Amino acid sequence: MASVTSLQPTNSIISSSRFKPPNPNPDHLFLKTQPFSSFNPTPAKPFRTLAVNNPSINRRRYDRSSQPQATSPRSKPVYKTQPLHKNSNYPNPNEPTNESSDQNVSDPLRKDVDLMGLCKEGKVEEALEYMGHGVSADYGVFCMLLESWDDLKVGRKIHQYLKLAPFGGDIELNEKLIEMYGRCGSMRDARKVFDRMPERNLSLWHSMINGYALNGKGGEGLLLFEQMRSSGLKPDKETVKVVLGACASAGAVEEGLTYFESMKDEYGIVPEIEHYVGVIDVLGKSGHLNEAEEFIAKMPFEPTAEVWEALRNLARIHGDLELEDRAEELLVSVDPSKVNADKIPLPPRKKYSELNMLEERNMVSESRCTDIYGESYEQSKGLRGQMREAGYVPDTRYVLHDIDQEAKEQALQYHSERLAIAYGLISTPARQTLRIIKNLRICGDCHNAIKIMSKIVGRELIVRDNKRFHHFKNGKCSCGDYW
């Protein structure tokens, strides 16, 4: 009986030194299989075994009563084999085979996968898995992947695949790559892509400047714009738009007005409605709401719905209810549909008079407590002493409950961004950047606290609230304490 210790994926011939046919009257056979072409067939065909008579050996029959005769080396049964793929079943040679039924659509070794179809269906992770197994992606697939994904870890994986593609140096794809890194809050990776490009068109510069503005680094965006002008490129309408966005992000009011005037005088660009809205954002985000209203009154054309909507949103941010209502009325007069589309109804006020104060105190609407929160709070408490030594003073104005001063200071420690940062500190390696996403606007006390935290722990802490990115590093924030 033959024994085989291992089979390598080659067209090797394996011979048996002792072979006793299971059938008393068999023919000497050669067992032939289809040759093994590569480890990743395209697609993998079923394993077949065909039996044919050996023409070089005379037919002989074995006698049950006679002893088996020694055979010459030429009469040894010879097998050609190949290893089976993982999770594959050996087919029954007596049953008809259907090649199309053996092609598993979820087999990661397939080469004929429709990656574009998977991306359109939202199965991006599955498409990336196929790409990891060697499936080639075309230009359109990379465009869709970069436009639809905003996770940093997966984005870096897409970047690695793009480097191996024949069009890895394409300017349009690298522009989308920079935009993807900007959405993920990693301008360091975006700048690496930008700096390594041998050629840069205006769109590439625009993506980089806009990414800085989105991440609260408008000052760096303005420096990049000056570098673009020094390189000899002439700004266009889109350039002025992204530069005004960078000015609004950095709170650079004078620079924004200067750039707006220079687009007409220096570059001969006629301002459009998007540029006027950009100037309103520059003024309004810095708190100059009266100046923004005066700027609207001096516009050479009637204000559109975009203008009044921008003014209404800025007034709402700064708490100017009178200006917000006035801008709302003017917006409705221009476009009545905006009220129904954008108006968010306020929840009904709670009637505290219906409940006794003691009964209210004993009521529990929701309770959620895990060990994670406990560990995070302990870590936050451990940082409190170091933060006070570094100059941190709790700002209890952001606690709206009617409680004593000590309870207000303790309530600040339970803000979600602080607990998230504390949990990140105890669960990640030292010096690793933490990214926190919050669906509400960060309060002023947490903003000051996280600045001091970043200096104490020696990490970059990136917080994304409902307005912008805040990059805290070495005791400073990218927003310049303006958001």
C-beta of residue 102 within 8 angstroms of C-beta of residue 46: yes
Cα(253)–Cα(247) distance, integer angstroms: 7
Helix 139-148 and helix 124-132, axial crossing angle in degrees, nearest 10: 130
* Residue 425 confidence (pLDDT): 86
pLDDT along the chain (483 residues), means of 10: 41 43 45 44 46 45 46 44 40 43 45 81 84 86 87 89 89 94 92 93 94 92 94 92 94 92 89 95 91 93 93 87 90 82 47 41 42 56 78 87 86 86 84 87 90 90 87 88 71
C-beta of residue 441 within 8 angstroms of C-beta of residue 466: yes
> How far is CA 50 from each of CA 31, 33, 92, 169, 394, rounded to the nearest angstrom?
6, 7, 11, 50, 83
Q: Which two tokens stand for residue 421?
A: 């940062």
Q: Which two tokens stand for residue 476?
A: 């400073």
Cα(210)–Cα(249) distance, integer angstroms: 10
* Contacts of residue 374, Cβ cutoff 8 Å, sequence gap at least 6: none
* Residue 308 confidence (pLDDT): 94
* Residue 97 confidence (pLDDT): 43
- The sign of the torsion formed by the CA atoms of 335, 341, 342, 345 equals positive
Cα(421)–Cα(416) distance, integer angstroms: 9
* Residue 235 confidence (pLDDT): 93
Q: Which two tokens stand for residue 166?
A: 């024949």
Nearest alpha-carbon partner for 227 in 194, 264, 183, 250: 194
* Contacts of residue 118, Cβ cutoff 8 Å, sequence gap at least 6: 124, 126, 127, 130
> How far is CA 62 from each of CA 1, 56, 74, rounded to the nearest angstrom?
18, 18, 18
> Rounded to the nearest 5°, which phi and psi values hold at 51?
-105, 125
Asked if the bond preceding 96 is cis, omega within 30° of 0, the reply is: no
CB-side neighbour CA atoms (13 Å) of 455: 15
> How far is CA 116 from each of CA 130, 152, 176, 219, 233, rounded to the nearest angstrom?
12, 21, 17, 39, 36
Burial class (CB in 10 A: 0-12, 13-18, 19+), 178: buried
The dihedral over CA atoms of 447, 450, 451, 456, expressed in degrees to the nearest 10, equals 160
Planar angle of CA 194, 199, 200, nearest 5 degrees: 60
Alpha-helix runs per DSSP H in 390-483: 405-412, 416-427, 444-457
* Residue 380 confidence (pLDDT): 64
Instruction: Give the strand order in the sheet containing 29-32.
Output: 13-15, 78-80, 29-32, 50-53
- pTM to 2 decimal places: 0.56
Cα(257)–Cα(300) distance, integer angstroms: 16
